[in-house]
Structure 1
Amino acid sequence: MSTKSFRVAICGGGIGGLCLAVALSKHTHIQVDVFEGAERFKEIGAGVMIWSRTWRILELLELAPHFAKVADTQPDPAVATGFEYRRSDTKDGFKWNLVAMPYAFAEQLPKGLAHFRRRLVSYEKQAGGEIALTFADGASAVCDLLVGCDGIKSVVRAQMLRVKAKEDAQPGLLNLIEPKWTGTIAYRGLIPSTNLPSVDGARHRTLASPMMYCGQNKHVVAYSISQGNIVNFVAFASDLNRKNTAYGAEWVTNCSKDEVLQCFGGWESEVSLLLEREEKPTKWGIHHLEELPFFVTNRVVLLGDAAHGMSPHLGAGAGQAIEDAYILAHVLGAAAPKSLDAALEAYQQTRLPVANHVLRSSYESGNMYEFNSRFGDEYSALGPAIGHQWDFLTESTPEGEAEKAMRILRSLERQGIIRERL
């Protein structure tokens, strides 16, 4: 097509926003613009998990070769690996569970689509149907569809909920704007594998297998990245009585090694050896969103952490953002201007229940690792329950979810239930 049918503005250049932009750019009838507040796109963070299901989506989006250049490994469905679980909050730790699964750790955007130093401050629906965007530097833009990919502190989500709360007289929606502290802090560090000493004459366990060291109210996740040259660890400590209380303005701060060691004092030696090798750990307040009742309103749509920012205990945040992008691109690619609303409703019906389930399961998993779930430390029941937390990876396929979204779209088009709002 020589002209564009509709304009999509993507606010936020994280992994979900970029996947969506690349996927939509393949459709010649869609004009795509990405607005990013930073000076450049961020690199993929150390230790980001890309499960085989997500890798399949990257293949479908023709992005897998790009990711393969920066990933430590590519997932092999024939090879099952996973986390070994140990009870570690005593000097005599022991293995109690193993969850096996296929996994991997993880400038294809056409020129002219990216606009940097464009931090959205507000949007406004115009009388003619366009959405006017205003940025912090005074610049402006217009679009037919706004996608908020602007993270867990999303400006788009905040305005969407405020508008909806006023229009529908639902003041309770205002309580969903701000992320909530889970009551958990996390100490993070990266350690060269050459700095990890042996434990009782054996190679440190984290160099051979992803580890989940578990204790009451605390757990430590550790695994090697960069072809085994670096060990990434995250040490969590929770106080359930402080859940949903104010954490403070700064979510990420520096801290001392002594603070970390004191927090995990009395744990088995291989955990202590791991933690004492990081000289400059950082301290994170772990936040998540409460489940949203909708991701779409009035041609504004949420994606990734803006829609379902979750705690990291399933390693699923990036994968869920990529899956959002895949489904949204799929239905928008098949949509005409008159069926945009149907496409957005198909996206919402397909992704909202799954993403909210994963958000909820991520929090529950953290409680399981720290023996704070309904299973306590009954290992025979807790082990299988933890394994089932990853069922969402295999209960369906990306292709099947895309087909589901298309069936919803075509059904809505036939019924005429979702009509053009312009």
Structure 2
Amino acid sequence: MAEQRIKVAIVGGGIAGLALAAGLAKLSHIDVHVYESVPEYKDIGAGLALHLNAIKAMALIGPELRQAYFDKALSMGEENEEMVTQVILAQGPHSGQLVAELGRAKGRKTVSRADLLAGFLELVPAACISFGKKLVGIHEKPPPSHNDDHDHKVTLVFADGTNAVADCLLGADGIHSPTRRHILGADHPAATPKNHDGWQIYRTLVSAEEARKHIDAKWTTSVPILLGPRGHINCIPLSRNTRLSAGVAVRRGPSSAAAALSPSSQTTPPPLDPSLYADYTPDAQRIVSLVALDPSASWSAADHDHAPSYIPLHPSTPPPRIAILGDAAHASLPFAGNGAAQALEDAAVLYHLFARGVASAAQIGSALIAYDAARRPRSQRVVEVARRFGRVYAFAEEDGEGEGEGRKMMHEDPERMREFFAEMARFTNEFDVEGQNEEALRVFGEVEGGASGLRN
């Protein structure tokens, strides 16, 4: 008797969920369905300038995924030209110095989150996605015995009163993930997002034409990060250079940080005051003034403390059928520019495991154990890197060298900053994404008791 198709439910139609669904939909032995909570996508979210590791991850899921990104994005230069994000000191005695070039990649592009989602959505069959499905409950039906894992099912309960049953639930349901709370327990200290440093992002979205009335035109076609102690400033061109996202990220410090954030816990921040940036470079001052005109796209940044697992904490009895990915697993602050890339790396590993490893529902548990082993250490380190980037950007990080009074703040030594950013860029940008996929498949084979079960 032929094996039944494996039913995979993905909760969340963001970057991670749609990228993975686009890949799984190509597999004849997988029946994938995405459940997205909103009735329809809205044009929200800032811009992205995906790094090389993200581009590699998309290509490993399928060339059509990478092409969707290229089709929707704005080129930062010629296709064969290496482009970077320039990090520049905008305040203090070293003002004007370039201290980093991040995200180096040929043909690098910027894209709005809404445009990227639209491109990915085109690759997911319409019958494989349902909107307006807000997850409110998860129930598992374990098999009657460990030897009969085909009967292990997961039931998803939605706010509209409907249910769905699947062999596997992959929670790509964002920073406030119900799937994360189900796995860790609602009272677990890492179950909800945190804002330890009190970050507030003041952001505006304007037409490129309007932006050029206020700031140098060069900032409407590049992706700079201008650093200073009262906020760092960046610009990202969007929608094929017709719009600009400009922002100021202000670190208010641990004393003003909320212990935990929920969608209803946001408070109105103090207004952005351009006069506080009088000692920044003129270019930086003009961008701050532009943002202050209409900071209606502002938000409070948050990330996740490390989860002890991306799968149920006791995976051996029974084998896991639930996992989290993307922001649900490892939401990070936006300052290292690698949150979306980590979501895409998650999707690449899971796609590889389901394409090359999982031949039957009974093997899902081994795949999710391998996924957790491959992805959790790296993705959680990226969360730490993003936190540290924020402190460095805010002139609030020691360089880690020297002792006592001899220790400097990192912004006091531009060369040390260059070394730090170069080291971190190698870790995020130049990572062997294909090797990570193969390592996950190797672990899957070990968990299965050998590599004989791998698909050709």
- Change in 2 beyond 3 A, CA 1:231/1:43: closer
Distance 1:276 1:307, change over 3 A: same
Aligned with residue 157 of structure 1, among 168, 180, 186: 180
Mapping of 1:297-376 within 5 angstroms? 297=312, 298-333=320-355, 334-335=357-358, 336-375=360-399, 376=409
In the TM superposition, what whole-angstrom CA distance separates every residue of 1:124-181 from its partner, at most 9, and x where no partner exists? 1124421111110110111111111100000111111118xxxxxxxxx711111001
Worse-superposed segment, 320-329 or 224-233? 224-233
Instruction: Tell me how far 1:245 sits from its aligned partner.
Output: 3.4
C-alpha distance in structure 2 between counterparts of 1:388 and 1:92, whole Å: 21
Letter in 1 for 2:153: E
Q: Deviations over 1:196-247 (max 9, x none)?
A: 4589xx9444246422211124211223334444332220111223345356
Q: TM-score, normalised by structure 2?
A: 0.81
Q: In the alignment, what sits opposite 2:83?
A: 81
- Identify the residue that residue 97 of structure 1 maps to in structure 2: 99
The residue correspondences of 1:129-144 to structure 2 (distance < 5 A) are 129-144=152-167
On the 8 A contact 1:6/1:144 being kept in 2, the answer is yes
Comparing 96-105 with 310-319, greater Cα deviation is found at 96-105
- Taking a change above 3 Å as real, the CA distance of residues 58 and 253 of structure 1, as seen in their structure-2 partners, is farther
Deviates more, 1:38-47 or 1:228-237: 38-47
Tell me which amino acid in the other structure corresponds to 1:157. Answer: R
Farther-moved stretch of structure 1 (210-219 vs 387-396): 387-396
Answer yes or no: is the 8 Å Cα contact 1:197–1:273 preserved in 2. Answer: no
Q: Residue type of the partner of 1:185?
A: Q
- CA RMSD, 1 decimal: 2.9
Give the strand-richer structure, 1 or 2.
1
CA deviations on 1:25-62 (whole Å, 9 max, x unpaired) are 11111111111111124568441222222122222323
Q: Which range is displaced more, 224-233 or 302-311? A: 224-233
With 203-212 and 139-148 compared, the bigger mean Cα shift is at: 203-212
Tell me: CA distance 1:317–1:217, structure 2 relative to 1, closer, same or farther (3 Å): same
One-letter identity of the residue aligned with 2:281 = E
Residue pair 1:209, 1:223 contacting (<8 A) in 2 also: yes
**Cα distance 1:338–1:77, how it changes in 2: closer, same or farther (>3 A)?**
farther
Kindly provide the amino acid, as one letter, of the partner of residue 158 in structure 1.
R
- The question of whether the paired residues in 1 share the 8 Å contact of 2:261 and 2:302 is answered with no
Segments of structure 2 that go 5 or more residues without pairing to the other structure are 112-121, 144-151, 313-319, 400-408, 452-456
SS at match of 1:176: coil
Shift of 1:388: 1.7
- Give the deviation of 1:88 after TM superposition: 2.1
In structure 1, the partner of 2:127 is: 112
* Change in CA separation of 1:284 and 1:43 when aligned onto 2, cut-off 3 Å: closer
Instruction: Provide the C-alpha distance between the structure 1 equivalents of 2:263 and 2:304, rounded to a whole number of angstroms.
Output: 17
Look up the equivalent residue of 1:218 and give its one-letter code.
G
More displaced, 71-80 or 9-18? 71-80
Instruction: Return the offset for 1:192.
Output: 3.1
* Alpha-carbon offset, residue 412 of structure 1: 1.6
Structure 1 residue identity aligned to 2:427: F
CA distance in 2, matches of 1:311, 1:80: 25
User: Equivalent residue of 2:165, what SS?
Assistant: strand
Residues in 1 aligned to 2:177 and 2:261: alpha-carbon distance in whole angstroms: 18
5 Å-filtered alignment, 1:9-408, equals: 9-41=9-41, 45-60=45-60, 61=62, 62-73=64-75, 78-89=80-91, 93-100=95-102, 101-102=104-105, 103-106=108-111, 107-128=122-143, 129-162=152-185, 174-182=188-196, 183-196=198-211, 203-207=216-220, 209-242=222-255, 243-245=257-259, 250=264, 259-278=272-291, 279-282=293-296, 283-297=298-312, 298-333=320-355, 334-335=357-358, 336-375=360-399, 376=409, 377=411, 378-408=413-443
Amino acid at match of 1:24: L
Identity percentage of aligned residues = 25
TM-score (norm. length: structure 1)? 0.87
- Cα distance, 1:398 vs structure 2: 2.1
> Quick one: distance in 1 between partners of 2:160 and 2:213?
54
Distance 1:228 1:9 in 2: 36
Q: Does structure 2 retain, via aligned residues, the 8 Å contact 1:37–1:116? A: yes
The gaps in structure 1 that reach 5 residues or longer are 164-172, 417-422
**Structure 2 residue identity aligned to 1:176:** A
Secondary structure of 1:138 counterpart = coil
Q: Judge which range, 315-324 or 203-212, deviates more.
A: 203-212
- Matching residue of 2:404: none
Q: Distance in 2 between matches of 1:330 and 1:35?
A: 22
280-289 or 202-211: bigger deviation: 202-211
Change (3 A) 1:83 1:112: closer
AA partner of residue 388 (structure 1): E
CA contact (8 A) 2:36 2:131 kept: yes
Partner amino acid, structure 2, of 1:269: P
Cα distance in 1, alignment partners of residues 65 and 422 from structure 2: 29
Query: d(CA) in 1 for partners of 2:226 and 2:264?
Result: 27
From the superposition, tell whether residues 366 and 5 of structure 1 become closer, same or farther in structure 2 (CA, over 3 Å): same
Amino acid at match of 1:371: F
Q: 1: CA distance between counterparts of 2:101 and 2:94?
A: 22
Q: Which amino acid aligns with 1:145?
A: C
Q: Aligned pairs, how many?
A: 404
Q: CA deviation at 1:380?
A: 1.7
Q: Assess, with a 3 A threshold, how the Cα gap between structure 1 residues 65 and 94 changes in structure 2: closer, same or farther.
A: closer
